Structure 1
Amino acid sequence: MADDKEKPGRLSVIQMAGTELTGDNTCLTFVLHNEDHTLGNALRYMIMKNPDVEFCGYSIPHPSENKVNLRIQTKGSPAVDVFKKGLSDLTALSEHVLETFEISVQNFKAQQQEEDMDIQ
């Protein structure tokens, strides 16, 4: 039985071979555990909108694995900073969508109540 200490966290970072010595932090692969295409593609889209990003792509190593490999290559900025900005931009977008949806639901319910009152 696996020990809890052996379980990976929700995020791992893999550096390209040979870049440990040069200190190149512009090209990294982030492994998102317990995630799928939903987060992978949305995050890739948000990161690609950043003009400092040269490449961003994701893959799921195997259909039975719940992990996403997200590769980021920048034109000079640290890939970690770009990853964090992508996450915060995606969070802001998600909050905006949720807020807009909730307002629409409230407006719809208010309209339904008005129509019910008109019928009576």
Structure 2
Amino acid sequence: MFCPLEPETIEHGSFTDNSPATFSLTDEDHTIANVVRFTLNQDPRVTFCGYSIPHPLEARVNIIVQTTGDPAREVLKDACQNLMLMCRHVRCTFDKAVEDFKASNVVKAMKIDSQDSSGDDSEESE
């Protein structure tokens, strides 16, 4: 799972004030940046959060965070942990729904067999 504070992340900020910071994530794009921005903006400790992509051909995003006083690094860590919990919840909910669907009578009535998944419909078309 994504952890933004691994070696490919660079933090730009002040030594005296830890509430504003910019985090540069390499090998990332709008997908992760937008979801991290959304998660950070849900945190009441965040007064501003946005992201930018310095150049479309460069696989890097800058996430800008301004907090009410807490260290931006800690707030980002918390947001990423919340994001991982949300992803885990969505995955578990999805997996359970698939299991429930497979166990339902609808699937049994469709006569779906995992062995017939070769994609060969020649018998049916004759």
TM-score by length of 2: 0.77
RMSD: 1.3
1:30 aligns with 2:23: yes
Identical amino acids, percent of aligned pairs:
39
Equivalent residues in 2 for 1:20-99, closer than 5 Å: 20=15, 23-99=16-92
SS in 2 for 1:69: strand
Higher helix share: 1
- Structure 2, unmatched stretches of 5+, are 1-6, 112-126
Amino acid at match of 1:11: T
Amino acid at match of 2:109: E
The runs of at least 4 consecutive aligned structure 1 residues that moved more than 2 Å come to 112-117
- Structure 1, unmatched stretches of 5+, are 1-8
Cα offset, 1:114, TM superposition:
3.4
Match of 1:12 in 2: 10
Amino acid at match of 1:69: N
Cα offset, 1:110, TM superposition:
1.3
Q: Take 1:67 and 1:109, find their aligned partners in 2: how far apart are those partners?
A: 41
Q: Take 1:36 and 1:47, find their aligned partners in 2: how far apart are those partners?
A: 17
